[in-house]
Amino acid sequence: MASQVLVAANRGPLSYALAADGALSARRGGGGLVSGLSAALAAQPEALWICAALSDADREAVRRGVGEPGVRMLDIDPAVYDDAYNGIANSVLWFTHHHLYDIPREPAFDAEFRRRWDSYTAYNQAFAEALAEEAAPGARVLVQDYHLALVPGALRQLRPDLRIAHFTHTPWASPDFLHMLPDDIRSRLVWGMLGADQLGFHTAAWAAAFISGATVDDVHGVADGFVPREDHQGGVHHRRLTEDGRYGEMRFTGVGQYPLGVDGDDLRALAHRPEVDEKLAALRAEVGDRKTIVRVDRTELSKNILRGLAAYRELLTTHPEWRGRVVHLASAYPSRQDLEVYRTYTDAVRSLAAEINAEFGTEEWEPVLVSVQDDFARSLAAYRMADVALINPVRDGMNLVAKEIPVVSEAGCVLVLSTGAGAYEELRQDALGVNPYDVTATAEALHAALSMPEAERTERTKRLAASATALPPEAWFTAQLEALGN
């Protein structure tokens, strides 16, 4: 049956693992997009979520017809998928939006890049075709993230009757970084997105960055944008050049700010399951009555885990009174390990944690307890124990962990939060803001957080939890649907 509401995202709610005996088992996908969309779609039982098969096990699940109701996994040629996901989305677009390039060497847009770009285009086209096939007349389609930037334009060509929105979960690159992309590629990205009726970003800053990058007069047409005003809605007027060299009709794409939050009740229920209680008991036994500094991230370059560990080391050096009295619980669950730079980064996180333990540890006290594994229950147990949450990404679209920890922490926690996280826009009043590159300032913020009087910390945590739950996933999703009309 054709669907009235469709979502397209690279990652689906579940991914599969294949055991040696051929049995398939399902696991919840990691990261904030899955947290937000899974919660939002629980209230939309008729919606269809189209996602990619991410691995051989996922492809095997597609072939065996194993899956969830309301989810369609696309079995894309593995080589095309690898080029699109690892080669373009995560190595080029992610690096551009997060300003991650190692500038003396990167980026270099060569023939190999062009070959991968063709795969990225084919992968976007496969999503557009699947959406066109599944959508009812006039249906509403919500396309997610930088993996699928070309889908709105491609889908509009196939099905002009559909109402199309696109939501970007990452930051949007500043104009200087966006203009590193080859001109024709940058233009294709922007015009691909302008195929949508409505574009969404987490923050006013990311929306404004998109609009300044989209105010263009280039090979594909002219566009003129205005930034979000008080109602958080802006937009871009645009006319595309047609093949015969004329301008097409003027169209308008709205640009809005939808800061994804968390559902407090759902999260508390998740954090109080028996398996989390067990992990909590084990962690408490290790930590004793010491204070905790908690961080939870994918092993992701933009999360700035190394500078976070360096700040903890500096705290122990310059404020020796904390030695033996604090434990840093760092969960870094594996992400994008097909990319060498991510594997190297993961090793560096392990090594630095080991160095700190070797430098300061004693028989009774291990300063850093690092867990580099996919163990959501342990992460939630750490949330509950947090006295201080350290969230210091160099840039981050939102960072849901910054919103989740204050909701779940049992003794109330102080949030040390990077000014580069999207969440900082909403949480700045009650968090301790830090420049993510400033290790000394981060160490001092950790000291201030550990020293904060209990009454102040309790008050701040209450307000942080209220801000964090202001736009829970269901409302976030509905607001975007409504922007497309009822």
Ligand X SMILES: O=c1ccn([C@@H]2O[C@H](COP(=O)(O)OP(=O)(O)O)[C@@H](O)[C@H]2O)c(=O)[nH]1
Task: Please report how close the Cβ of residue 11 comes to ligand X at its closest, in angstroms.
Answer: 10
What does 11 interact with, of ligand X, ligand L263DTV3, none (CB < 5 to 8 A by kind)? ligand L263DTV3
Q: What does the DSSP 8-state code read for residue 20?
A: T
Alpha-carbon span 191 to 242, nearest angstrom? 13
Q: Which of 260, 332, 390, 415 binds ligand L263DTV3 (CB under 6 A)?
A: 260
Q: Determine what percent of the chain falls in helix, strand and coil, rounding each to the nearest 5.
A: 45, 20, 30
Alpha-carbon span 161 to 138, nearest angstrom? 5
Stretch near ligand L263DTV3 under the rule CB under 6 A, chosen from 210-218, 346-354, 393-401, 441-449: 393-401
Alpha-carbon span 5 to 334, nearest angstrom? 32
Instruction: Count Cβ atoms below 10 Å from residue 81 Cβ, excluding itself.
Output: 24
For residue 80 the two structure tokens come to 């095309």
Nearest to 253 by CA among 191, 194, 172: 194
Q: Does 376 bind ligand X (CB under 6 A)?
A: yes
Alpha-carbon span 69 to 238, nearest angstrom? 39
Residues in contact with ligand X, counted by CB under 6 A, come to a total of 17
Nearer to ligand L263DTV3, 83 or 396 (CB): 396
Q: Does 170 bind ligand L263DTV3 (CB under 6 A)?
A: yes
Nearest to 232 by CA among 257, 198, 201: 257
Binding to ligand L263DTV3, residues 329-368 (CB under 6 A): 335-336
Q: Does 333 bind ligand X (CB under 6 A)?
A: yes
Alpha-carbon span 486 to 113, nearest angstrom? 41
Q: Does 404 bind ligand L263DTV3 (CB under 6 A)?
A: no
Task: Please report how close the Cβ of residue 34 comes to ligand L263DTV3 at its closest, in angstroms.
Answer: 6
Q: Does 88 bind ligand L263DTV3 (CB under 6 A)?
A: no
Q: Does 361 bind ligand X (CB under 6 A)?
A: no
Q: Does 153 bind ligand X (CB under 6 A)?
A: no
Q: Which residues of 361-380 are buried (b: 16+ CB within 10 A; e: fewer)?
A: eeeebbbbbbbbeeebbbbb
What does 276 interact with, of ligand L263DTV3, ligand X, none (CB < 5 to 8 A by kind)? none
Q: Does 379 bind ligand X (CB under 6 A)?
A: yes
Q: Which of 153, 256, 397, 436 binds ligand L263DTV3 (CB under 6 A)?
A: 397
Spell out the alpha helix ranges (H) of 248-400.
264-271, 274-287, 305-318, 340-360, 376-385
- From the number of C-beta atoms within 10 Å of its C-beta (0-12, 13-18, 19+), residue 56 rates as exposed
Stretch near ligand X under the rule CB under 6 A, chosen from 51-59, 60-68, 196-204, 375-383: 375-383
Task: Please report how close the Cβ of residue 44 comes to ligand L263DTV3 at its closest, in angstroms.
Answer: 17
β pairing state of 3-8 and 135-144: parallel
Q: Does 32 bind ligand X (CB under 6 A)?
A: yes
Nearer to ligand L263DTV3, 206 or 322 (CB): 206
Which residues of this chain interact with ligand X, rule CB under 6 A?
A: 30-33, 35, 296, 298, 333, 374-376, 379, 398-401, 404
Which residues of this chain interact with ligand L263DTV3, rule CB under 6 A?
A: 11, 30-33, 36, 145, 169-170, 260, 335-336, 396-400
